[in-house]
Structure 1
């Protein structure tokens, strides 16, 4: 442990800072006196609002509600009334800014817990991670009680559960235990290998379809030839004039519309005379021939089509279903694909994706849910290569999988926006980019025994094995504590189920699922009957530590340390934190904390427009999100600097994200550190696709979203919530303006300017990144094109000429960034909202961060060693 950490321990033992106050600065009294008090003083009190006696020090919810009404009324333009004296725009904007910031402070003051930690339960992530650690299973946690409305899912005060929701946990527990028994039974079985030669599955079907296309087309042509001749006969002249008058399309596209009118013509043939079902079916068949035949024919006539198959988009072979004859038992599988991509295919079309096939009719999506894996095809059809990935089948999963070319999930968008656009351009449709030779599936793969397996193996030959299994499972699930009374009740339940005819395994499922629904498992129990805080016990500390750094239960090493009372030793605790951060389970912490700290749920709010951003599909969103997680994990694994998230000379990417950024030489699914060339806009959060994509609407950039995100997460100056009922600027309707022109106009309105003058310049500084985070120098809107101007000026701060200067200015604010990170880390780790009473702790942690060159691990160490983390 460093000397600075020891100093921190002494500092953190001091008295907490006094609770901060939400006080509207006195300078604002003049604004109220000039424009508000003439109607809302102690005498008139219009609208029953008396601002004269309203305290500038907001200490109660009632006061806060009145001030919020004032803020809303001025923001909306309702106050002051039009017939009253009006403030200048700058006056109004300054007052709104001041009151908005005070209201932000008031929300924190009024929600301050005073450092109290509410008993909390496992959130959905922790529940699933725990089952994974103990049973090697995963359930569908979406059916479990929600995690609450706190900023972090670890906040106990926002977690609620009702008695009827216990049944949800019982059901989830039964599913989990059943799957664990199934996996246990499969562990010693030899995995099967299923091989699918692609051409064997598709070529016979395709050849048959092409033959039917040709045969029906020939029949239709002969049929239509005679119908056309009948329509031109003299006796049908007047009839045709009436038909065309009623339906002009008959004259423009006769083959498509004339057959339906043939019944009105004298001497016209009937479709059934040519072996066609009826007129409607005949026309439909010809439409399909016109739209599909060339596309299907193209894939069959390409080289190597006899030894494999070309994946098509929307029409034809666009999905390969993999259904082994023996099914797919739960477990892990290796999926291997041999194939290659056309050398001239765009990079984003050199990937295949894996998911569960959608079986619903009509088809709205190709997959049931999101794809869960993707592979980059690095070979070519002539020099094919084998790609491999690992997939997993759970009890709640579909027991079959499918692969296809990586593409948008929306079938209709692809068909309408991509297929028909490319057909218009090529005369055929999208050119195939992928050729596959064969697919191989191997599994379920043998796995190391889970803790549950070890219990079953340990007691498999014992006469009282049910009792011993229940006892050991209880100790495992209850994190080292099991009461004799609980054991007796569970054993009695097991014996009752046996007396009712249940098998040994089914009766155990019922008993063990009760354990997984009990409060001793679902809650991180830290009772405290004292008036003030108390020291955690060793067992409580290892549990809190494990769910902080792993989002999972403590392992045996931690439990043994708790049992021996050694973990409270600062040096030993420091060693354990290092061990835990180096463990693969630390990825659970990174994913859970980062997703919520950086508000990354916005990445799932919308689908990206398939015509303009076709490559930014669900796979790209998944990889972009993972880039953020993997970058932070890289810092933790390498004791890296937190400020590298503001600016660095490297990326942590896989093949898909490297392709998105135009970086050559990076292939495959493994994320790795990649050195950036001089002058690259990447390096740090600002250059990441996920961050910029969240600051868009799926089609265009949103400088407001981006600027607000930077203020909130990088500079630690969160803007107030957007005011309600702000009037739109009607004069802009129908005008074609640049992004800067449209947003700058908002600053002319004082109720908008109070926030936009802070937010917009930062958003403009990021305009070189398009909606998906690709770098650009020009933009367009409708028929207007312009060179992007990314210059700007921080509100009451320095100016910058472009993105690179802005990025440097933000990177220079490492203290502000670290402070925001620390406040979020405190809230996440302690299971409660950050409050003003935590300011002293945050300042002490920031001092450690600065002394230790902003190393993330040093901040985590200091937090864990601190008094607050070790107390209840």
Structure 2
């Protein structure tokens, strides 16, 4: 549709403006660079950070001499920090500058940076555009139309680029032709599901065990019908058994138009003594989506009915139901009942088949028994109907209603009052469609399509070209707050307060924060923020080798990730302190993760808080299986990667990239004594290009050498090749400030002894997430003020988030 293209062109033009680079005027009111600082740098810095040698991949001689306004501001800030911390010049230099000389250099640099701040702020672009992430897009569409669009489906939206784990950075989220095509297609599908062209009728379709099983033969079915046993037949599901294709799904065109469906399954689940519970999964093949999973514990004579909702796109679907646990072969010859109908575990088995139960009738394997699967839908509950009715006239031909609906959708979708010219532009699309022969419903959908493809919907827009200002207006505060805590658009209460101009009032903003953080929608914050801060997208990037780690499976991987989210949620809900993130005497586990950790007595398939014994080395985020696994490569743990993760996530610093052509760590030679990775890393410290960084990184990762690539505790490092016994693990180390440790617990105690660096890191990460941009030198004072409030509140996490929301920084563009 050509007239919609201009919406995207306009978005692209403004996006280019939002990323434009600006230059700043030089401030002459100070001693020149050549007199004030250059002699100091030549004498004390350039020898190790110049053309011939760049320790830590840092050069001083190429930094911009325009310290306050040039492109090297952040690098000069690093110079200040190194001098202030006593790291530079190093103590082994033959002639060190005096404390007074150091102080004069720091003061000169700091003054130049502060002078440049005013110029940088004055040149700030008048409008900022931050594209919605695909998860935010899905949540916003759900709020508008009640459609749960699958953005991660193969035909959904593009995966987001990330910067240090963050997916919300406006300058990173570009808009390409591929995005445009995907957004257009997504909007069409969303609107067709919300306002279907053809009427749909809710149906209930049930498939019994015979249909799910795909047998037995016709003669056997006749016998079952004659004896009244058809409804007694059940599906026996051994470990790994799958029901595939159309059998788990409804017949006919029930799913053709898509929509919201309820699925019910009557099922029993038997767990062997000391073993795993059977795990039911329901998977949609064509859209690559896991719809449901749960451990099932129910006697075969007392089955339970589990149910879940699934919002499916229009089209044909195939499904897969699995007993997703490892076990023996489920081939007919050894396990399944073959063409023989299955009624009960107690029925007895053919002599050559594997026994299902022991002499006491207890199951020998995790076993599922399914009686039937039922589908109901498409569902149109009253709340859903009312939500969609807001934007569609209820009288055919009533153009006054049509215009009011267009205006209502513009205001909701743009998250601010719609201007008259905007409403008129989209209403004209509706009129032109009617003039071309479309009915009102179809014409309205075309107008809605244009709105959903507008820059004002796809981007969180902050600022006004006509009235440039440094502060957010009330509607922009409402959006920033709602996308921070709920990852979606503001609700009616936030809109109402913005309309009244009250969100700038601290008491009102505080009340809204407390309301929203207590809402169930805040679970999105407890999922999205730690996922991006801790870079959990890397979990599973390198699947562990099956031969080395046979216990690792997708269920365990999802359970690892779930622990971190549940842990963060518990800390937030109880307003616990940042100390818990470093070390705690508890964690959150479900049965699968409890088995991985060796914790007994966990039956209910949900995350629950468990106490850890004093001798347990777990506790906090750093020793959770998800973190330990994402910093491994699928074959072995990687101390350097773990050290980099700690440096970024705990200390808020990123090391420079490694030098080119660094030799990788080679496998242990067959004829050499077995050596740990620690021993092999020592070789890198003899290379001056590597030593400076490895001295800071390696101890942070080696502190967790007692944990293998999937987060299991160990006392020795298993080395596949070489002679002699496996060497014992050595988790000792020394921090750059000289403090030593010998175990993961001791390392965490050192971090707890000085919480300020971690506090500042969390404040910085949270601000980056909330403001959708990187923090700069100009934000230091605001960030420090928030960190101080956090410290005064004993580092309590909910109070920290509140301090950010109530800060001046949160209301700045």
Q: How does 1:105-504 map to 2 (within 5 A)?
A: 114=120, 116=124, 118-141=128-151, 144=157, 147-148=160-161, 150-151=163-164, 152-161=166-175, 165-182=179-196, 192-197=204-209, 201-202=213-214, 204=216, 307-313=234-240, 321-326=247-252, 327-328=254-255, 329-344=258-273, 346-347=275-276, 350-357=278-285, 369=288, 371-379=290-298, 385-386=303-304, 388-395=306-313, 399-406=317-324, 433-444=366-377, 447=381, 449-450=383-384, 452-455=387-390, 459=394, 463-464=398-399, 465-504=401-440
> CA 1:656 to 1:57, structure 2 compared with 1: closer, same or farther past 3 Å?
farther
Q: Is the 8 A contact 1:792 1:800 kept in 2?
A: yes
Residues 1:788 and 2:729 aligned together: yes
Residues 1:860 and 2:793 aligned together: no
* Aligned counterparts of 1:603 and 1:777: Cα–Cα separation in 2: 24
> CA 1:702 to 1:184, structure 2 compared with 1: closer, same or farther past 3 Å?
farther
> CA 1:472 to 1:790, structure 2 compared with 1: closer, same or farther past 3 Å?
same
Cα deviation, 1:278-337, whole Å, max 9, x if unaligned, reads xxxxxxxxxxxxxxxxxxxxxxxxxxx9743133548x8789940212434421424324
* Aligned counterparts of 1:700 and 1:135: Cα–Cα separation in 2: 47
* Aligned counterparts of 1:206 and 1:393: Cα–Cα separation in 2: 36
Q: How does 1:344-743 map to 2 (within 5 A)?
A: 344=273, 346-347=275-276, 350-357=278-285, 369=288, 371-379=290-298, 385-386=303-304, 388-395=306-313, 399-406=317-324, 433-444=366-377, 447=381, 449-450=383-384, 452-455=387-390, 459=394, 463-464=398-399, 465-529=401-465, 533-728=469-664, 735=672, 736-743=674-681
* Aligned counterparts of 1:453 and 1:853: Cα–Cα separation in 2: 46
Q: Is the 8 A contact 2:50 2:61 kept in 1?
A: no
Q: Is the 8 A contact 1:354 1:371 kept in 2?
A: yes
* Aligned counterparts of 1:52 and 1:801: Cα–Cα separation in 2: 36
User: How far did residue 145 of structure 1 move?
Assistant: 6.2
Q: Point out where structure 2 has 5 or more consecutive residues left out of the alignment.
A: 1-29, 54-58, 77-89, 94-105, 221-231, 336-351, 357-363
Larger Rg: 1
User: How far did residue 206 of structure 1 move?
Assistant: 13
Q: Is the 8 A contact 1:541 1:870 kept in 2?
A: yes
> CA 1:467 to 1:706, structure 2 compared with 1: closer, same or farther past 3 Å?
same
Q: Is the 8 A contact 1:653 1:671 kept in 2?
A: yes
> CA 1:56 to 1:397, structure 2 compared with 1: closer, same or farther past 3 Å?
same
User: How far did residue 739 of structure 1 move?
Assistant: 2.7
User: How far did residue 389 of structure 1 move?
Assistant: 4.7
Q: Is the 8 A contact 1:587 1:633 kept in 2?
A: yes
Q: Is the 8 A contact 2:268 2:302 kept in 1?
A: yes
User: How far did residue 756 of structure 1 move?
Assistant: 2.3
| 3-state secondary structure, aligned to 2:727 | strand
| 3-state secondary structure, aligned to 1:576 | helix
User: How far did residue 541 of structure 1 move?
Assistant: 1.7
> CA 1:146 to 1:313, structure 2 compared with 1: closer, same or farther past 3 Å?
closer
User: How far did residue 458 of structure 1 move?
Assistant: 7.7
User: How far did residue 829 of structure 1 move?
Assistant: 1.5
Q: Is the 8 A contact 1:778 1:787 kept in 2?
A: yes
Residues 1:824 and 2:765 aligned together: yes
User: How far did residue 607 of structure 1 move?
Assistant: 1.8
| 3-state secondary structure, aligned to 1:126 | helix
* Aligned counterparts of 1:685 and 1:519: Cα–Cα separation in 2: 39
More helix per residue: 1
Q: Is the 8 A contact 2:244 2:319 kept in 1?
A: no
Query: Which shows bigger deviation, 543-552 or 444-453?
Result: 444-453
* Aligned counterparts of 2:748 and 2:70: Cα–Cα separation in 1: 42
* Aligned counterparts of 2:515 and 2:772: Cα–Cα separation in 1: 23
* Aligned counterparts of 1:837 and 1:601: Cα–Cα separation in 2: 30
* Aligned counterparts of 2:69 and 2:667: Cα–Cα separation in 1: 39
User: How far did residue 515 of structure 1 move?
Assistant: 0.8
Cα deviation, 1:811-867, whole Å, max 9, x if unaligned, reads 333221111111111222222211122111121111111110111222222222222
Cα deviation, 1:668-693, whole Å, max 9, x if unaligned, reads 44333233333222321022111011
Query: Of residues 753, 763, 776 in structure 1, which corresponds to 2:714?
Result: 776
Q: Is the 8 A contact 2:63 2:72 kept in 1?
A: no
Q: Which residue of 1 aligns with 2:100?
A: none
Q: Is the 8 A contact 1:747 1:757 kept in 2?
A: yes
* Aligned counterparts of 2:541 and 2:315: Cα–Cα separation in 1: 24
Q: Is the 8 A contact 1:452 1:473 kept in 2?
A: no
* Aligned counterparts of 2:176 and 2:245: Cα–Cα separation in 1: 44
Q: Is the 8 A contact 1:311 1:404 kept in 2?
A: no
Cα deviation, 1:515-548, whole Å, max 9, x if unaligned, reads 1111222222322459985332222221222222
Please, what is the CA RMSD of the aligned residues?
Answer: 4.4
| 3-state secondary structure, aligned to 1:154 | coil
Q: Is the 8 A contact 1:370 1:618 kept in 2?
A: no
| 3-state secondary structure, aligned to 2:646 | helix
> CA 1:384 to 1:744, structure 2 compared with 1: closer, same or farther past 3 Å?
farther
Q: Is the 8 A contact 1:354 1:404 kept in 2?
A: yes
Cα deviation, 1:160-187, whole Å, max 9, x if unaligned, reads 325785444232211111111249976x
Q: Is the 8 A contact 1:144 1:168 kept in 2?
A: yes
Higher relative contact order (CA 8 A, sep 6+): 1
Q: Is the 8 A contact 1:199 1:309 kept in 2?
A: no
> CA 1:585 to 1:114, structure 2 compared with 1: closer, same or farther past 3 Å?
farther
> CA 1:618 to 1:146, structure 2 compared with 1: closer, same or farther past 3 Å?
closer
Query: Which shows bigger deviation, 571-580 or 729-738?
Result: 729-738
Q: Is the 8 A contact 1:791 1:800 kept in 2?
A: yes
> CA 1:332 to 1:807, structure 2 compared with 1: closer, same or farther past 3 Å?
farther
Query: Which shows bigger deviation, 769-778 or 438-447?
Result: 438-447
* Aligned counterparts of 2:587 and 2:60: Cα–Cα separation in 1: 57
Q: How does 1:20-31 map to 2 (within 5 A)?
A: 29=43
User: How far did residue 777 of structure 1 move?
Assistant: 2.6
Q: Is the 8 A contact 1:623 1:656 kept in 2?
A: yes
Q: Is the 8 A contact 1:199 1:308 kept in 2?
A: no
Cα deviation, 1:623-646, whole Å, max 9, x if unaligned, reads 222221222222222222222111
Query: Which shows bigger deviation, 528-537 or 434-443?
Result: 528-537
